[in-house]
Each structure stands twice: as structure tokens, then as C-alpha cells.
Amino acid sequence: MNKHSFTLAVMALSALVAQAASPVHSTVLEYVPAPGQFVNTLPEWEEGDDAAAMAEKAYNYTNPDGSMISLGGYGGYIVVGFDHTIVNVEGVRDIYFEGNSFSEARATQGGSSEPGVVLVAYDINGNGMPDDNEWFEIRGSEYGNSISGYECTYYRPDSDEADIRWTDNRGNEGYIYRNQFHPQPYWPQWLLDRETLTFRGTRLPDNGVDKNGDGSYFVLSQFDYGYADNAPNLVDGLWNEDAKIDIDWAIDINGNSVKMPGVDFVKIYTGVNQDNGWIGENSTEVCRIIDAHVTREGSTPVLDETLEIDQTVLDAFLAAYADGNVSSVANAVGTDNMRVYLDKATGVVNFNAPNGGLAQVYNQSGMLVYSNLFKAGSNSIDLGNLPDGLYLVRIAGKTTKILKH
Ligand SMILES: [Ca+2]
Ligand SMILES: [Ca+2]
Ligand SMILES: [Ca+2]
Ligand SMILES: [Ca+2]
């Protein structure tokens, strides 16, 4: 090899190196915190910063190995993207979340866990963006103890010195309380034109306990698995398995497990709505979000680029979710906290009810075609033998329109 071709080879090699994929998230697409004691400081808001500027700052605060950002109270979220698809590797956890939880032992033994609910998206339509119907929730250990369809609205305060009131769709209300340690405004300053901020999702159970009963010592217990900022980052210097999620924990809008080929986007939102006295609101922190399939861990992890998406899994996934996460639930209708949906393939209407009651179905002519009692929990009504068309499904006195087609 002469000197010239050697130089070319080195140049080609550095080009390759420059293009190597990074296991760490490569972009922050959205950063919308709920009000909280670290909002406007993690990351810092400066006069003139708009939503795009704050998303960029959120990136700079999380990657590379930066500090962290806070999502504020319940519902506040961040959406990140990667420069490659995180492959769902069979039988192992695929995504690693760095947070600032310092619990040393599991569950009730103590800690500062502030679990964030995780959603993952595969770019089904290939437009380079996560679309609403591309998200799948990660079913963590508390899924059965959580409230789905939860909605929390915060009200912009009249002054920066006022606590920030919230109400939810379960009849509760409360405050994000100001504290002496954090004197800055708690309302996102780039969202001052919004009178309210509403967040929807799954509400995890409260995990904070006033240990001495006098407000002096709060313990925020760690959940078993499936959340961000829930478990300590490291165990014996290595990435903590409890800080990782398996893409196989993804579920669709029906609550069914989904076999996803991989993940292009990750969303995290604060999942607990609890005030812990002087510690303040439970707020999820996010540092780096990392493809866990690496050949080297640590501050500069190296991606294992030999992994490939399983074509069979991809084909089956695209066939099942060609229209995204609502392909089988085109008629999903939320009725308060009850979601009624039609499985197009079978003609079965499914719903989850907090209590038992009477279900009736009328056809377009107003004829009663179904009447039966249902129980608390999951129920189904089989309309498979009925002709296509519009039906009125009346469940516990609430009517939902379902178009069977
Ligand atoms: Ca996996
Ligand atoms: Ca997309
Ligand atoms: Ca926090
Ligand atoms: Ca935290």
C-alpha cells in the first residue's frame, strides 16, 4: 500500500467511524414537563427559549453523559429518537434507562424511586417520526395496580409564588407545592400562553411513604420492573438489569402483548401523582436512554452492530399493525374511564368495566339485538354474526357508537 492509498484508507475508516451508530438516544423530539420544582432549571429556561430550544437543551442535558432533566409532576414527558432501530433481541432486555434513583435495595427497603411510564414506537409508516398510533406501552410490574385512562390538568398560577393546582378525571385535586429550595417559577415558562396543561396516560400507584409519620423522612419504594428512574443505574459497576426494559413487555391499546421487531422512539412520562412533603412532587428524571445491546458499557458504550431485526417478527408485526396501534380498534371510544372497542377481525366488542351492570346493543333501526349482564373487569360482546353497520352499544347507561365493518 503506498502512502496515498493508505491516507485514503484512513480517511475512509474515519468516515466509517464517524457514521457508526450510537447506542445512546440521538435526538429529543419533544420535551413537555408538568409543573415541578426542577422545571425551568433542569434544563434551564432562559428568556426567549421556545419549545424547540427547550427540546434541544433537554438533549444537551442528557447526552452525551450530561446531567439530567426532570419531567415535573404526573404526565410530564420526553420523546427521544435514535440513529438506528433498537433490535428486540429474544429473551433479553433491550433498553437501558439512566435516572437518579439511589435505592440500594428493592421495593420497600428504601429509596428515591420516581417511576416513569415507558412507551415505545416502531416507525411503521417510515416517516422518521413517531405517530400517535405507533406507540405501545411497556407493561411494567404495576400494570394491574394502575389507573388507565387517567387525565390530570394543571392550572397556570396567577403568580410565580403560588402553588400550582391540579384536578384529575377521578374527582381529585391537589397542588404542586412550592418549596424553599427551588425559588424559580414551576410552570414551564415557554408554555406561559397555556392556561392549562393536560396529561393523559396510566397512573401508577403511589410509592412514597412518610416513614416516621412526621414528614421528616420519605421513602419512595422501587417497583419490580418496567419503568424509568425506578432502579439505581448500576450494580457492582455494571448496568442494572432492573433499569432496563424488554421490548417484549409492550402491549397494544387492547392490553395484548405485542411482538415488536424493534424500537425507533421512546417516550417517558412521570407515572406517579404524589406529593412527598418537603421532598416535593414525585417527578421522573431522565439521563441517557441507551440501546442495551452493547459490546462495552459505561460512559462511552459501544453498540453491537451485528444485531439484525428478525424479518419474520417484522412481517408479522406489520401485518398485525399495518395501521398502527389502532388497526384492530378503529372504533375505540373512551366513555369516561371505560374504553369500548371492536376487534374488526372477529366482530367482538371488548370493554373493561369498574363495576358490573347491564349491556345492550341496538342496531341502526333501534332494534335490540343484544342484552345481557356483565361483570366487573374485562367483558366481550360477540357481534360476529350480525351484519356490518352502525350499532349503539349501551353499557351501564352510557351509549357508544360502534361501526362494524
Ligand atoms: Ca427483547
Ligand atoms: Ca412514523
Ligand atoms: Ca424527581
Ligand atoms: Ca428521580
pLDDT in tens, the chain (405 residues): 444 544 445 444 544 445 689 999 999 999 999 999 999 999 999 999 999 999 999 999 998 767 899 999 999 999 999 999 999 999 999 999 999 998 655 444 458 999 999 999 999 888 899 988 899 999 999 999 999 999 999 999 999 999 999 999 999 999 999 999 999 999 999 999 999 999 999 999 999 999 889 988 889 999 999 999 999 999 888 999 999 999 999 999 888 999 999 999 999 999 999 999 999 999 999 999 999 999 999 989 999 999 999 999 999 998 888 777 864 444 455 544 466 777 878 888 888 777 888 888 988 888 889 988 888 888 999 999 999 888 888 887 777 777 787
**Whose atoms come closest to the Cα of 42: which ligand?**
3
**Whose atoms come closest to the Cα of 99: which ligand?**
4
Which position has the grid cell 422501587? 222
> How many angstroms does the Cα of residue 206 sit away from the middle of ligand 4?
14
> How many angstroms does the Cα of residue 95 sit away from the middle of ligand 1?
9
Domain 333-404 has CATH 1.20.1300.10: no
Please identify every residue whose CB atom is under 5 Å from ligand 2, which is an ion.
123, 125, 127, 129, 131
Nearest to 247 by CA among 80, 119, 83: 119
**Whose atoms come closest to the Cα of 279: which ligand?**
3
Could you state, in order of their start, the residue ranges of all structural domains in the chain?
A: 21-319, 333-404
**Whose atoms come closest to the Cα of 262: which ligand?**
1
Whole-structure pTM value: 0.78
**Whose atoms come closest to the Cα of 74: which ligand?**
3
> How many angstroms does the Cα of residue 250 sit away from the middle of ligand 1?
10
Read off the C-alpha cell for 11: 480517511
Contact status, residue 164 vs residue 153, Cβ threshold 8 Å: no
> How many angstroms does the Cα of residue 284 sit away from the middle of ligand 4?
5
> How many angstroms does the Cα of residue 221 sit away from the middle of ligand 3?
13
